[in-house]
Structures are given as structure tokens and as C-alpha cells.
Amino acid sequence: MTRQVTVNPKKLRPYDEPPKRRRALIPGGPDTAATGFLVAAALWLAVSTGLGVLAIALRIIPFDSSFPLLFGLEFTFSERRVDAAFINATVYGWLTNAGFAAVAFMTPRLLGKRIVAEPLLNLALVIWNMSLAAGLASLYVFALGPHAPLTAMSWLLTGGLATGALIVTGVFVLTAGTALRSSYISLWFAGVALLGLLGLLGLNAGLGLLSFVLDLPELTTALVSVFIGQALMALWLLGMAYATLYYVVPRAVGQPLASGGLALLAWLSWLALAPVSALAVLTDASVPFLITSLGAVAAMLLFVPAALTVVNLALTMQGRWSLLFGAGATAFAAVSLAFLLGVSLLQAIGSLRLVHVAVARTEWETGVFIWATYGAFTLAAFALAEHALPRILRRAWGGGLLSSAQLWLAFSGATIAGLALMGAGMAESSLLSQGVVADALGAGVAPYRVVAFLGFGMVALAGLAMVVNLFLLYTSGEPAEYAVPDASAAVAAGH
């Protein structure tokens, strides 16, 4: 009988072991940028809605205080500064991160190829959000001057935002530039929106630098500032809402886009009207009447691309109406379209000179802002997240209780808060025309503000529901595989 001897393998010495694979300092895997931007967007949504609740509360119970900091600086807490932080967190934090996520998610799926230099998008994610966080903090420390909220940050920090936007735009152009001659209408909307954002941020940074170096007149700064703010809404946010809705609806209902011709007409009319519509806010005696009149007419006509989009996407949903009764991407998109049409009507009415004179600088403008940002644009972003998150995280998820909570809380809250503040604006205008003193004016609009506070609290709960939904999706969702379509599949899906 032969005795078998077992020899233990010699333990490898440290220098004999194969080197471990090192992770890249900046992630570059597929969908890492889309994931990062959506997570950042969800966190900023929680921050922005919290600031919104605080901003409305300060209208009910005013509070103003300052605290000394180092180097002779002061932390100043006031209604105007909280308002500015709320608007910046909403536009640059929540909605812009969601817009960048839409670009990072849609582009490879429409084109059937990976994004060029995805690590650069992740670098832009860091630059954008670090610049924004520092910018929001600076709003409580440095003087705001004559700036509108979206241009109130330091030119250095605005330059950081412009750098992030430049990277995202450059990556998009490198990836999609050769395909823009095709009929990808979502890419056309996204491309113009990105260029608009980049140009406006560059103009804002330049305005800040000139103000710092040359001490520009306050009137010039104020006029350029309000133009930039309005143009950001019309070009960047509205453009990305259109891009997202034209992408999500055909895919969510599983049917091709009803009419490419209507989509192209909507894009052309939006492209022609959106930049001009921002001129409507330049209501000053130093601005020629012709310029503001052109802006007002363009703002009224922005109803046209909104109506074309609603008709086109409603026809796309035809035969799949049952999806509207759930809480999936289709339901979010449908409510977004309803808000989009409503906001277009409100802006057309508000552009009438008699109406504008009556409601300018009242709570009416805040109410319309809430309907636009937390109604139309937020629900479009929710539709994207509902469709995209299960696919980029590879989880089977969507349409549950938390999605229903997001839908109904956001819809009800934005509706109530917007209507209450618009009512407050009309009441404020009426009281001012009667020569009511400031104390009586505050008491007259207080009930409207209380209702708006409760309504926007519901929007804040919708933001919290999204954060919780995202956490549970990642931790509790069953693993699933989602194929990335090739270019032909993208065409069939209606892009």
C-alpha cells in the first residue's frame, strides 16, 4: 500500500502576490455620472424644499439676525437671503443636477454607444456641487447688492459652476455631435439647453467680474441680472423639461412618438421664442418699449410649444391610458405636462402690461415660480428618476407606495402653494392700490401665506419620499438586468 503524502502549498511572499487592481480616482464606469447626478439631485431636493418652507415661514413671522464671523465678516440671516438660497438650491441644486443626470442617462441610450470620457462628467459633478455649496454659504455672508437671486453668488463661484457646465456640454457634444443631424428631438432640446446654460453662466461670471473691477452702475447690474434669471428658466430648465418628457413618455408607454413633425415644430418655436421672452422682465424706463414689448409677445407665444408638446405626447399615450392611474413614469410625465400648460398660460397672462404692472414684485411671481419649478420641472425630473433609477442601479423597482406619495404630495403641494401665493399677490396688489400701510398689508396676506406654508410642506415631504425611495431601491430592490438599446432600438422607441 502506497502512502499518500499531502504537501501544503508554499505561502506566497508579499512580493510574489499578484498586484491588486486599483480603483480609478475618478469613476468612469457606465452610468456612474447619471447615478451621481441623480443622487446629488435628490439630496438638493431635500435641501431646497427645506429652505422653501423656511422662506415662507419668514414671510409669516419675520426674523432678521446677524452673527460675527472671522476676518470681520458676518453671517446674516434674513428673508431676502433665505429666498436667494432657496431659489439657487432649487435651480442649480435640484433641477440642474437632475438635468445633467438626464443628459448622462439619455444620450448613450439614444445613440447606442457609451458616453465619451465619462470620468469628466464625474469631475463636473464634483466641481458643480462644491461650487454651489460654497455659493449658498456665501449668500449669507456677502452683500447681495442689486442682483437677482440666481446671479447673487460671487463671480469666482459662478465661474466654478460655468466650468462644470462647460465640461458637461463638451462631453455631450463629443458624444452626440455627429448624431445631431438625425431626428433625436430630445438631444436637440438638451443640446440647446446646455449651450444656453453655459452661455448664461459665462455672462453671469463676466458680469460679476466687471462689477468687481469697474463698479458697474446698479441699474445695469440689476437689468442684466433679472434677464439672466429669466433666461435660465426659459432656456435651460424649460428646455430640459421638454427633452426629458420627449424621452420618457414614448419609452414608458412602449409606443413611438406620435409625430416627429410636431416635435420639430415645438423645438423650433421654443428655440425662437425662449431667448426673446427673457426681455419681458426688463421693465425700466431706460429700456426701449419695443424691446420689452417683443419680450412680452414672445412670453405669450411660449404657450405654442407647450401646447404642441402636450398634444404630441397625449397622442403618444393613446391606448395606454391605464398607465395614468398608477404611479409610474407616465403618471409623473402627465402631471408635468398639465403644469407645463398651466404655467405657459400664467406667464402669457402675466406678460400683459396691465397685469404685469399690477402683480410685479408681489407674491404672484413666487407662486408662478413654484408652479414652474416644483410643478412642471420637478414632476418631469420625477418621471426621469422613476424610469432611470431602476436601470442605472440594476434593480427591479418602481411604482410603489413611496412613488405614489411623491406624485400626490408634489402635485397637491405645488398646486396649493402656488395658488395661495398667487392669491396673496393679487391681494397685495389690491391693498397697495388702496394705500394700505405695511402692517395692514402683512395682516391682509397672512392667511394666504399660511396656506402656502402648509402646501409647500407637502412638497418637502415629496422630496423626503424621493430620498427614502432611492435608499430603499438600492438596499432592498431585487437585482435585475436592463439592456442598453442600440441606435435602431432608440429610433423605434420614439427617442
**Domain extent for 131:** 27-478
Instruction: Summarize the confidence of residues 164-183 as an average pLDDT.
Output: 83
Instruction: Summarize the confidence of residues 150-159 as an average pLDDT.
Output: 90
pLDDT at 27 over 80: no
| Any domain includes 485 | no
The CATH code of the domain that includes 422 is 1.20.210.10
Q: Alpha-carbon distance 16 to 421, whole Å? A: 71
The length of the chain in residues reads 495
pLDDT at 71 over 80: no
Q: Alpha-carbon distance 11 to 411, whole Å? A: 64
**DSSP codes, 345-414:** HHHHHHTSHHHHHHHTTSHHHHHHHHIIIIIIIHHHHHHHHHHHHHHHTTEE--SSHHHHHHHHHHHHHH
Over the stretch 80-134, which tens digit does the pLDDT of each residue have? 999 999 999 999 999 999 999 999 999 999 888 888 888 899 999 999 999 999 9
Over the stretch 215-252, which tens digit does the pLDDT of each residue have? 778 888 889 999 999 999 999 999 999 999 999 999 99
Q: Determine contact, residues 132/43, Cβ cutoff 8 Å.
A: no
| Any domain includes 487 | no
pLDDT: which is higher, 333 or 217 = 333
Confidence tier at 305 by pLDDT (50, 70, 90)? very high
| Any domain includes 198 | yes
pLDDT at 23 over 60: no
Q: Which residues pair with 75 in a beta bridge?
A: 67
Q: Determine contact, residues 307/341, Cβ cutoff 8 Å.
A: yes
| Any domain includes 206 | yes
Q: Determine contact, residues 280/296, Cβ cutoff 8 Å.
A: yes
| Any domain includes 99 | yes
Instruction: Summarize the confidence of residues 428-435 as an average pLDDT.
Output: 82
| Any domain includes 194 | yes
The answer to whether the Cα torsion of 174, 177, 183, 189 is positive or negative is: positive
| Any domain includes 364 | yes
Over the stretch 363-380, which tens digit does the pLDDT of each residue have? 999 999 999 999 999 999
Over the stretch 441-480, which tens digit does the pLDDT of each residue have? 778 889 999 999 999 999 999 999 999 988 888 888 787 7
| Any domain includes 494 | no
Give residues with Cβ within 8 angstroms of 455, minimum separation 6. Answer: 412, 413, 414, 415, 416, 417, 418, 420
Q: Alpha-carbon distance 345 to 355, whole Å? A: 13
pLDDT: which is higher, 40 or 74 = 40
* Total structural domains within the chain: 1
Please report, rounded to a whole number, the percentage of residues in the chain having pLDDT higher than 90: 57
Instruction: Summarize the confidence of residues 194-216 as an average pLDDT.
Output: 88
- Can you give the pLDDT at residue 114? 86
- Can you give the pLDDT at residue 371? 96
